């Protein structure tokens, strides 16, 4: 079985299908990983969600910030952007929303040594701690009262971790779905979406040499616990990051008229495909 990871789709359904055809994707034999931002901005978020849902267990998707904005609009009963309205108003919209809110924030596969997150990890997090932070958010999203609890996570988040349970959870949500630049001690810059640091000591989250998620195994007390490479999206300005030993970045700006990128993970060196996106 091939494990194929695709960058931010953002509703570019036809581009996704063209790319999967290019890679000879076989849902009976291959598994598709999606790095989040499945919806929004592109022309067909509804068809995208339906296709991914219908893949069943052959699709593994983590939530991105745009996916969470859709869930937030449903939770608060506010009108979503036009690009997302088709999902909210669809005959199977409630089923799609239910499917979406049951996606994880972090996915691990020890058999191939890869982890997937939408944006990034805190430099002080081991993989084990990151999994715990992600699970605290997933419990809220998958609870019966998720519509009451989710909006509380969308408070303005400080650059450093806040105190209190809600503050820590909101901060973790931002790290997992909004990370780009941060300092080595975990001060995040939520506003810089470019490629050049605009604050002293800022660097891309994945470049800090002593980040614990790459220096430590998933469980420091278990010497057999695996190390993971991280596949992520979110940073379209950065484009494909394929020159780093610990990460693979796959957001190549499809929705901005650039390309959608797919990578086979379970091989010594990832194999990449891409296609021009006309969205």
226 pLDDT band, cuts 50/70/90, is: low
pLDDT at position 45 over 60:
yes
**Domain total in the chain:** 1
Task: Quote the tokens at residue 32.
Answer: 């598709």
State the pLDDT at residue 46. Answer: 96
pTM equals 0.93
- DSSP H or E stretch at residue 50: helix 45-54
35 pLDDT band, cuts 50/70/90, is: very high
Strands 203-204 and 181-182: antiparallel
State the pLDDT at residue 109. Answer: 95
Lowest mean pLDDT among 33-47, 74-88, 136-150: 74-88
Report the side by side order of strands in the sheet with 188-189.
188-189, 181-182, 203-204
Q: Residue 26: which domain range?
A: 3-276
CA distance 98 to 152: 19
pLDDT at position 279 over 80:
no
Residue 249's closest CA among 231, 274, 262? 231
CA distance 193 to 178: 10
Report the side by side order of strands in the sheet with 271-276.
59-61, 31-34, 3-6, 259-264, 271-276
Task: Quote the tokens at residue 260.
Answer: 């959608």
State the pLDDT at residue 80. Answer: 82
Tell me, what CATH number does 154's domain have? 3.60.21.10
pLDDT at position 219 over 60:
no
Q: Return the DSSP state at 251.
A: -
Per-residue pLDDT of 163-178, as tens digits, reads 556 678 999 999 999 9
Other Cβ atoms closer than 10 A to 75: 20
CA distance 214 to 237: 24
222 pLDDT band, cuts 50/70/90, is: low
pLDDT at position 59 over 80:
yes
Dihedral sign (CA 124, 135, 80, 73): negative
Lowest mean pLDDT among 131-145, 152-166, 260-274: 152-166
pLDDT at position 215 over 70:
no
């Amino acid at each position: 079985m091939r494990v194929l990871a695709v960058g931010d789709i953002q509703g570019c359904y036809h581009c996704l299908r063209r790319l999967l055809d290019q890679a000879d994707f076989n849902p009976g034999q291959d598994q598709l990983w999606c790095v989040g931002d499945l919806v929004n901005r592109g022309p067909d978020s509804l068809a995208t969600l339906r296709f991914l849902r219908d893949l069943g267990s052959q699709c593994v998707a983590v939530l991105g910030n745009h996916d969470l904005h859709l869930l937030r609009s449903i939770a608060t009963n506010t009108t979503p952007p036009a690009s997302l309205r088709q999902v909210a108003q669809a005959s199977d919209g409630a089923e799609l929303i239910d499917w979406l809110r049951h996606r994880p924030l972090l996915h691990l596969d020890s058999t191939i040594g890869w982890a997937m997150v939408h944006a990034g990890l805190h430099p002080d997090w081991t993989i084990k701690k990151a999994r715990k932070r992600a699970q605290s958010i997933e419990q809220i999203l998958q609870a019966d009262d998720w519509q009451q609890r989710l909006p509380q996570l969308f408070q303005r988040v400080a650059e450093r971790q806040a105190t209190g349970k809600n503050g820590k959870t909101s901060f973790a949500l931002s790290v997992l779905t909004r990370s780009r630049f941060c300092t080595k001690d975990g001060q995040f810059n939520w506003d810089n979406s470019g490629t050049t640091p605009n604050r002293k000591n800022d660097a891309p989250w994945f470049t800090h040499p002593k980040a614990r998620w790459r220096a430590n195994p998933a469980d420091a007390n278990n010497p057999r616990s695996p190390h993971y490479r991280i596949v992520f999206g979110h940073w379209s300005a950065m484009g494909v990051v394929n020159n780093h030993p610990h990460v693979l970045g796959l957001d190549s700006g499809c929705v901005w008229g650039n390309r959608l990128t797919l990578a086979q993970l379970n091989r010594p060196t990832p194999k990449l495909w891409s296609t021009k996106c006309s969205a």
